Chains A and B, each alone.
Chain A
Amino acid sequence: MGTDYKALKNGGFMRQTQKNNFSLRLKVVGGNLTAEQLVAIAEISKKYGDGYVHLTSRQGVEIPFIKLADVEAVKTELEAGGVNTGVCGPRVRTVTACQGSAICPSGCIDTYPLAVEISNRYFGQELPHKFKFGITGCMNNCLKAEENDLGIKGGYSVELVKENCTLCGVCVKACREGAITKTSEGLEIDKSKCNYCGRCAKSCPFNAWKGESGYLISFGGTFGNLIAKGEQFLPIIRNKEILFKVTDAALNFFAKYAKPSERFRVCIDRAGWDNFKKEMEDICNG
């Protein structure tokens, strides 16, 4: 009986150039690992691997040089150490995230809990091809949302609270989109220029902006053989329930219209962006 390389690969064991050696992909959500997990990983890499780990481009951790004979033992020890194996193949992959508002002063959304929620909902789900989620806390886009099949970016929809404004002028300069101008009557805001970055609200010394967190979604990004930037066309989404309706619908669209082994981007290109946009917009409009 031969080795089932496909099953091993699906379970995160990636075949190496060296026969019977595997680089084991671990499950990491939102780029965070606990100290206990790191210790377990370090011990396994020393005991079964070559004493080092590789950090992937998408916040993943791999332990190279795991021997075929040790696969089961490694799985058991990982589990005991609170570490799960990752996935490969045509399914939902590691959900990546920047540190977001819990840590970073620029953050507009709390990225880590959202990454956990998305990972719990979709991680490993089988699809026509791989599918990547990435979450970035604000317009600075440290996590590069648009590289992902589905990117989520935090934003603020802002409203001026006129009575608090002293016309100090700080926000006029803080806004990089030139959406705010100071006139003799007060501030003038050109909403068509606003990109929801929230810099006005974050910089105002007098709390004269009401900023409400929201999500900006980009679809169809891919940065491998084919390079394409995810497209953002929906207005900012203010609640998680709608966000999940949209992500559900996007995955359903992919499952329904894609040919086997076709990436989300290619699928949307072929099925037509107009159709796709309409489906997503209908969901947003209830």
Chain B
Amino acid sequence: MADYTIDETVDITDVVCPVTFVKAKVALEELEDGQVLSIRLNDGEPVQNVPRSIKEEGHQILKLIDNGDGTYNLVVKRITLEDQT
């Protein structure tokens, strides 16, 4: 898989479900198409559910990185709706 460069980061470890997804979604919407966002999220519900919600929104998830401290970084490429087939 091609490498990526992270354009923006957002930390959603300070909010709880369902605001986790909302915060991530808002951050993604502020990006340009094709830009990459790294989302820091907690173990448990957020890491179990947020990736799937982001996939269902149509964005491309690239990687989930275990930070080893009970948090993860989810790397997502923004895809605009028009580009989805």
Q: Mark A202-241, 1 if CB is under 8 A from B, else 0.
A: 1111000000000000000000000000000000000000
Can you offer 11 A-B residue contacts whose CB atoms are under 8 A? A168-B62, A168-B63, A169-B63, A170-B51, A170-B74, A173-B43, A173-B47, A174-B49, A199-B48, A203-B51, A204-B55
Chain A interface size band reads 10 to 19
Q: Which of B17-25, B27-35, B64-72 contacts A (4 or more CB under 8 A)?
A: B64-72
Known: A169-B63, A170-B64; 15 extra A-B contacts, CB below 8 A, are A105-B56, A166-B63, A168-B63, A168-B64, A169-B64, A169-B65, A169-B66, A170-B74, A173-B43, A173-B48, A173-B64, A174-B49, A174-B51, A203-B52, A204-B55
Mark contacts of A170-193 with chain B using CB atoms, 8 A cut-off: 1 yes-contact digit, 0 otherwise: 101110100000000000000000
> Which chain B residues border A205 with CB–CB below 8 Å?
51, 55, 60-62
Chain A residue numbers with a CB within 8 Å of B56 are: 105
Chain A residues with Cβ below 8 Å from B72 are 173
Q: Tell me if A174 and B61 are in contact (CB < 8 A).
A: no
What is the CB-to-nearest-CB distance from A47 to chain B, in angstroms, rounded to a whole number?
43
Q: What are the residues of chain B within 8 A of A105 when measuring CB–CB?
A: 56
B26: CB under 8 A from chain A?
no
Q: Which residues of A contact B (CB under 8 A)?
A: 105, 166, 168-170, 172-174, 176, 199, 202-205
User: Closest approach, in angstroms, between the C-beta of B69 and any C-beta of chain A?
Assistant: 15
Complex: how many Å from CA A250 to CA B61?
A: 45
Bound Cα distance from A202 to B53, whole angstroms: 10
| Contact status A176-B48, CB under 8 Å | yes
